[in-house]
């Protein structure tokens, strides 16, 4: 079984979104109009108060010419990283899985 690689640090996908908006010289309001969402949704994603859903990932990808998978992966990686920092898996789970496989 291969060892999972865990990043030392992960960044909220909103930081990437913010960087992309700056690179394109778009305001949050402009971007919100482009994707057809309220400005508050864009602002909440940028500040990590709202997750990027599958639907939003499709909208962002259409606006930026990227894949929706990129945005979902950024969101999922960040959320898992945060969870791993807050809660370690129960070692008994691994022990029981090894016993069941034997």
In CATH terms, the superfamily for domain 13-101 is lambda repressor-like DNA-binding domains (1.10.260.40)
**In the prediction, which pLDDT does 3 show?**
58
Helical H runs in 1-102? Answer: 13-24, 28-35, 39-46, 54-64, 68-86, 91-101
pLDDT of 102 over the 60 cut: yes
What's the CA gap between 45 and 21, in Å, rounded?
Answer: 13
Is residue 1 over pLDDT 60?
A: no
Ranges of each domain in the chain: 13-101
Q: Report the distance separating Cα 51 and Cα 73, nearest Å.
A: 12
Segment 33-71, tens digit of pLDDT:
999 999 999 999 999 999 999 999 999 999 999 999 999
Cα–Cα distance list, 74 to 53, 83, 90 (Å): 11, 14, 25
- CB contact at 8 A, 52 and 74: yes
pTM assigned to the model: 0.79
């Amino acid at each position: 079984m291969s060892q999972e690689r865990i990043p030392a640090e992960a960044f909220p996908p909103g930081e990437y979104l913010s960087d992309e908006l700056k690179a394109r010289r778009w305001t949050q309001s402009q971007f919100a109009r482009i994707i057809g969402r309220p400005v508050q949704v864009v602002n909440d994603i940028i500040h990590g108060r709202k997750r990027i859903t599958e639907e939003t990932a499709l909208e962002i990808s259409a606006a930026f010419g990227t894949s929706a998978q990129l945005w979902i992966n950024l969101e999922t990686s960040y959320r898992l990283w945060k969870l791993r920092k807050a809660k370690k898996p129960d070692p008994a789970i691994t022990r029981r899985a090894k016993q069941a496989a034997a």
